Structure 1
């Protein structure tokens, strides 16, 4: 397939595969906006056009024309008080020198959206039947995958030729493409194979000649479905799927039981997983083991990476947010020592955050390095006129990240859940119920002393199995057994 061609493509210096990943990376442009889906789509389109028309970008990837989208689905768990953010977005571009080739780029996880994490990324405790194709396949996909795919299938964007809103599939039916490449990173790495299979299953609706070749380049994707889905997908599209995943990236290890077991040791000997990380992995394994998750193209060979020092965020992105994260990392050791001296339990927060920061680096910079698109990733920000790319910029400025995490490590707020029933945890995850109300009440109390508009709590659920549950529901700013 074309992605194995190492030569330059479309009059750019990058190979076809590098250009596809660059376009996939560009889907993050929607993450900085909030509001109605149509507003986010319009703002994202402006940035994307800026990128595609940038002369420095064109030297790398050639000229690509935006022909459909971006289509955006936006939402929020607390839509009455919290503005919607992009949860799913997608666009179609066509290279100037190869008009019979279309690329469908699907966005990954919007890290600034709690709903994106809960509804799509971690909604994996239940599966549903694959909604397209013959029912006898017994293929199952996670509820989160189904939610995301359903939104992508129904996304609409205005067709400039008819001034009507049409879906991506409807657009593809308007012109005869010989090749369609579907790509996505992270959550997009799980959704892009599903959307590819959707196009294959519905050919009669858009590909009357049934001759269009559908290819897929998913990167860093978690498992979209179970072993039956993996087998069914591979029977259809394995020859044109080139799944890429970083051996040191935790995301593509999810949610296969055997691969999840490798997560705590991924960064040894440079960094050991905290107790919190190990407990989290075990919990995910327990929740998903019976579902038999397996990624598509399971034989796809991983690529090796390296342990990155955190300051690579600064060297690689020159991002103000990255600098704040680096300052926070430098602060961790001093903060932990102070907490120990004061007798305040840290709940291993420092080690946990160090592990998660390394995971973030592997999930982003690890792929930029592998595909060798450093020039593109650095140019994306000034070309789009955005202020931050790699790490989503907090709404009140990048300094808020450091201050919020610093407050967390220096002044832990502990809530005794007593008996953490499934109903309580489900309510907390959904952003409702008495526990959620208690959290918001405490945050309001803190904000009265030091107002921080738009602040959201960072919640860790920690179970102490060495002591019986307390009968007293209380908040504490001091030491606690939990």
Structure 2
């Protein structure tokens, strides 16, 4: 779904077809058993007044395991961030500068003014949770389906809620929301809820994490990679570890630090705390081969990110989008050269940076910025920007490693490489390219 651009109805149809292809395939059934999709999949696509989404921004479904005799076992699966979804990244992932009261599992119904104290989740998680609660499969909300399920059950019900990345943050949030709203769907408390989140960032503050600890940590199997940057978001002391994650292969530099400072700026004041923080992570090591497999990094998105960091370096806290786009367009050819240099006999780390070449890009950037900020000291800014962009090759290597560590090691650690290979073959897709392939 991550590479598909279409209408909500077409994406909904595609998701349904692909999921049915997977669960009905005899070879895959030998690996994962027999499953029946009982609700969903439901695709959410943002429909705004000014700008619409053209991709799948959120996806969720529920499936029943067919080989269980003593109980009825179900999985509720929540998709991670679609890398093509600006709504998923900007709203659900990065809207952390504001928080909402937990409000017994319905934070979206709380007012932004209710900020004094208590359990809080990020505004992005609140919005993501609201989307999940309001999804309908055949005109039926998830909670309505669960209510029908529990009211007619003849044996115990087991529900595991899982997800990766954004799904790794939303799955425990949805689980706790369902626990707090249990009277609405499981009046007799016949259902055992467990959680299997992977690679999630911290969804809420310290009070929220403590409450989750009391309610669900004993039935939560949190999986996280120590070399994955995402689980280090947005808890302060874990954020501070991000620049040094890949030492000695990649040393901290000013661009990496700028990125972390930006994330710290976004989340400052939220007092974020990772869930089940005592759960140890796994570590399969740095992958040196990724240093020269950079072609799957999206140059346009990377250019936007670097442009934002450049503008923050020049004193902007919230640069205008038109200026971000202008700077991104200027810097994109330089980024492309660094990435495509891997196709030659030399590696990126061997590529000698020509300061004169960088200078011509810097001159264009400063000229553009001065149309908005005429008081900018040209000479001083030129020197500091050249020094900043000297770190660009290592910054690109860092992002490639971070992307790899967020995906492939989990496949290896969970020992599902055969399923992943078969999944790609059956659907004839490779959603994240070589950077998502286990070693």
Please indicate the TM-score interval, normalised by the length of the shorter structure: 0.7 to 0.9
Q: Please, which moves more after superposition, 369-378 or 182-191? A: 369-378
Tell me which of 385, 391, 399 is aligned to 1:348.
391
Give the distance between the partners of 1:334 and 1:252, measured in 2 at CA.
27
Alignment of 1:239-388 (within 5 A): 239-311=218-290, 321=296, 328=340, 330-331=342-343, 333=348, 337=352, 339-340=354-355, 342-344=357-359, 345=386, 346=389, 348-385=391-428, 387-388=429-430
Q: What's the TM-score once normalised by structure 1's chain length? A: 0.67
Deviation, 1:54, is 1.8
* Cα shift readout 1:208-230 (whole Å, capped 9, x = no counterpart): 21121100011000000000000
Q: 1:109 aligned to 2:81? A: yes
Give the distance between the partners of 1:138 and 1:329, measured in 2 at CA.
51
Q: 1:120 aligned to 2:163? A: no
Q: Are the aligned partners of 1:111 and 1:392 in contact in 2 as well (CA < 8 Å)?
A: no
Tell me which of 107, 126, 145 is aligned to 2:125.
145
Tell me which of 410, 424, 431 is aligned to 1:389.
431
Structure 2 counterpart of 1:48: 19
Deviation, 1:266, is 0.5
Q: Are the aligned partners of 1:112 and 1:392 in contact in 2 as well (CA < 8 Å)?
A: no
Give 3-state SS (helix, strand or coil) of 2:37's partner.
strand
Q: Which runs of 5+ in 2 are unaligned?
A: 111-115, 300-335, 360-385
- Displaced runs of 4+ in structure 1, greater than 6 A? 76-79, 134-137, 322-327
Give 3-state SS (helix, strand or coil) of 1:337's partner.
coil
Q: What's the TM-score once normalised by structure 2's chain length? A: 0.73
Indicate how the Cα distance of structure 1 residues 181 and 294 shifts in structure 2: closer, same or farther if over 3 A, else same. same
Q: CA RMSD in A?
A: 3.1
Structure 1 counterpart of 2:8: 37
Q: 1:63 aligned to 2:42? A: no
Alignment of 1:430-441 (within 5 A): none
Q: Are the aligned partners of 1:108 and 1:186 in contact in 2 as well (CA < 8 Å)?
A: yes
* Cα shift readout 1:53-112 (whole Å, capped 9, x = no counterpart): 1222111101111111011111277965x6521111100011110260010000011111
Structure 1 counterpart of 2:140: 166
Indicate how the Cα distance of structure 1 residues 342 and 70 shifts in structure 2: closer, same or farther if over 3 A, else same. same
Structure 1 counterpart of 2:113: none
Q: Which runs of 5+ in 1 are unaligned?
A: 1-29, 159-164, 394-482
Structure 1 counterpart of 2:65: 95
* Cα shift readout 1:249-299 (whole Å, capped 9, x = no counterpart): 000000000001111111111122331111221232244242210011111
* Cα shift readout 1:333-378 (whole Å, capped 9, x = no counterpart): 3995364353534453222111010001100011111101111111
Give 3-state SS (helix, strand or coil) of 1:172's partner.
helix
Indicate how the Cα distance of structure 1 residues 329 and 269 shifts in structure 2: closer, same or farther if over 3 A, else same. farther
Q: Please, which moves more after superposition, 258-267 or 36-45? A: 36-45
Q: 1:85 aligned to 2:55? A: yes
Deviation, 1:190, is 0.5
